[in-house]
Amino acid sequence: MRIATASYPLDVLPDWAAYEDKLTAWVTEAATAGADLLVFPEYGAMELATLAGLDVAGDLEASLFAVAERLPDADALHAHLAAQFEVHILAASGPATNDLPDGVVRPVNRARLFAPSGEVGVQDKQIMTRFEAETWDVVPGGPLRLFDTALGRIGILICYDSEFPLLGHALNEADIILVPSVTEALAGYSRVRIGAQARALENQCVTVMSSVVGTAPWSEAVDISVGAGGIFGPPDRGFPDTGVVALGEMNEPGWVYGDVDLADVAAVRADGGVLNRRDWNAQTGRADPVTVVKLA
């Protein structure tokens, strides 16, 4: 399959038609290039807040609910484009307030995976960054899910989630793990990229990182974004020795494309130079205590 992952800039949208035109142009470009799976980044939906005016977009609390109100319309547009072009689309994540898990009263950070059939899978972020938890009051949502699609089994680890190996291990049946991200500095981008590559190594699967890029001075939440799209695999048989299938130029808007064959995932899991996935599964059943050695 061909995967398209976005290095995506945020815009001030004068009206809904501008958003329709933007998203349609992005999807058309990727589909025309032969992409089967399109991956947009974390909090890329925040540009929808500008439809309510820059005063609302610039208010951390108000912007959450302004975007949440627009997500159903955005979802309808994504569903239409996925069906029209016969592609799978991971929509840019954004704050959601509908259909929240029991006891959750604050917005969650939600990504949505659209299939050409019209079916939609929902994945909420599991672990909040300090900004989300301490400043923005965005909260963890529903549990991790594994989506069985016509393209293969797909999991989603939203940005910071990718840095936690046990979350990745919970998705060890996934053929592809999507990592939509937004990071304000090179250090943050590096952390998420290292996490994405580590998950590809230990699960012997494909991981796909998308990024917001550029500036959005109207929002404290996404005012500066540094990153690039990337597609990674295990550095083993059937994959590049670096593990890098494709990598965009830093901070350059556009699609990054990579071709992957999930038969290579199955093959490396069965007979790779190393068998990380098998051996981790063996280790998780061990109960041997750790020996503490004191050095004078």
Model pLDDT for residues 9-35, shown as the tens digit of each residue? 999 999 999 999 999 999 999 999 999
We report the CATH number of the domain holding residue 11 as 3.60.110.10
Neighbours of 259 (CB within 10 A): 13
pLDDT at 80: 98
Asked if residue 290 belongs to a domain, the reply is no
| CA-to-CA separations, 73 to 16, 119, 183, 232, in angstroms, rounded | 9, 16, 26, 32
pLDDT at 105: 84
Closest by Cα among 272, 200, 185 to 230: 200
According to DSSP, the β-strands at 254-259 and 37-39 are unpaired
Residue type, 120: V
Average pLDDT of the chain is 95
- Gap between the terminal Cα atoms of the chain: 56
Asked if residue 289 belongs to a domain, the reply is no
Percent of the chain with pLDDT over 90: 91
Spatial distance between the Cα atoms of 215 and 203, rounded to a whole number of angstroms:
34
What is the mean pLDDT of the segment spanning 44-53?
98
Spatial distance between the Cα atoms of 38 and 90, rounded to a whole number of angstroms:
6
Give the chain's length.
296
Tokens of 166: 């046990």
Query: Residue 85, SS3?
Result: helix
Residue type, 261: D
pLDDT tens readout for residues 133-156: 999 999 999 899 999 999 999 999
pLDDT above 90: residue 284: no
Spatial distance between the Cα atoms of 234 and 245, rounded to a whole number of angstroms:
10
When divided into structural domains, the chain yields a total of 1
Neighbours of 105 (CB within 10 A): 7
Contact 71, 45 (CB under 8 A): yes
Query: Residue 114, SS3?
Result: strand
Domain span at residue 217? 2-284
Cα Rg, the chain, nearest whole Å:
19
pLDDT at 296: 55
Asked if residue 35 belongs to a domain, the reply is yes
291 pLDDT band, cuts 50/70/90, is low
Neighbours of 14 (CB within 10 A): 10
Query: Residue 243, SS3?
Result: coil
Query: Residue 225, SS3?
Result: strand
Asked if residue 291 belongs to a domain, the reply is no
Query: Residue 215, SS3?
Result: strand
pLDDT at 102: 81
Asked if residue 295 belongs to a domain, the reply is no
281 pLDDT band, cuts 50/70/90, is confident
pLDDT above 60: residue 270: yes
Asked if residue 293 belongs to a domain, the reply is no
pLDDT above 90: residue 288: no
Tokens of 253: 């808007």
Global confidence as pTM: 0.96
pLDDT above 80: residue 289: no
Instruction: Give Cβ neighbours of residue 257 (< 8 Å, ≥ 6 apart).
Output: 2, 3, 4, 30, 33, 35, 246
Percent of the chain with pLDDT over 70: 96
pLDDT above 70: residue 294: no
pLDDT at 103: 82
pLDDT tens readout for residues 221-263: 999 999 999 999 999 999 999 999 999 999 999 999 999 999 9
Contact 144, 158 (CB under 8 A): no
